[in-house]
Structure 1
C-alpha cells in the first residue's frame, strides 16, 4: 500500500518540524501520537497545524481519496484528545502506545 506509507511519511515529516521527539501508532480508525514539543507551542496549535497540513498534502497527492471518501467531510474528525505527561515518564507513555493492539473502547 503505497498510499498508506506516503500518508505516514507526510504525518511524521510534519511532526518532526515542530516536535523534539515523537511516537505514533496507527490503529484501524485512529492514531495515537505522543509528541515532545517546546513549551512555547500550545498543544492545540500543534493539532491544528498537523490536521491542516496533512489534509492539504494528502489530498494534493491523492485527489481521488477526497473524491471517494471525504466529499462532504474533512480528513479529520472534530474530536481529539490532548493531555500532558505530568509525572509519567516518556518511556512509560511510549510503551503504552506501542502496546496498543486495538482501538480504545469508550
Structure 2
C-alpha cells in the first residue's frame, strides 16, 4: 500500500481527507472577491483553532469547495459546522450589509456535500485486504 501523506499522531497514523462543498443560502452570489479573500483567511484560522487542516479551497460567488484533513477523532460534520457557523457569524458582524442581501439572515444553505478522499483507490484497498492471508 502507498504510504504518502500519512500523519503520525500520538495514538494512530492516518490519512483522512474530505472534499466538502456547500452553497450560500438560495445560491445568492454574495461572495465577491474581497469577501472571498477574507473568507479564505477566516477558514484557515478556524481550521487551525479547531485542530484540522485545510489543504486547499476555492470560494465561488455562490458556493465553497474545501479539501480538508483531520484526525479520525474529529467528525466531518464538526468540521462543516465550525466552518459554516463561525464564518457566518463573523462575516455578519463585520459586514452587516451582507445580511440584508440574504432573506432571513442566513449566509449558508443548511445542507452540504461531503466525500472522503484517499491516496489509493477503492479497488487497490479491496485487493490489498483480499491478499492479506496469501502474504503470510
Fold similarity call, TM over 0.5: yes
- Structure 1, unmatched stretches of 5+, are 90-106
In structure 2, the partner of 1:51 is: 84
Q: Structure 1 residues 20 and 86, CA, compared in 2 at 3 Å: closer, same or farther?
A: same
Q: Would you say how many aligned residue pairs link Structure 1 and Structure 2?
A: 88
Task: Flag structure 2 segments of 5+ consecutive residues without an equivalent.
Answer: 1-32, 122-136
The structure whose residues are more often strand, as a share, is: 2
Higher relative contact order structure (alpha carbons within 8 Å, sequence separation ≥ 6): 2
Q: CA RMSD in A?
A: 2.1
Q: Larger % of helix: which?
A: 1
Map 1:66-85 to 2 at 5 A.
Answer: 66-67=99-100, 69-85=101-117
Tell which structure's C-alpha radius of gyration is larger: 2
Deviation at 1:73, TM superposition (A): 4.4
Question: Could you say what secondary structure the match of 2:37 adopts?
Answer: helix
Q: TM-score, normalised by structure 2?
A: 0.56
- Structure 1 residues 24, 42: closer, same or farther in 2, change over 3 A? same
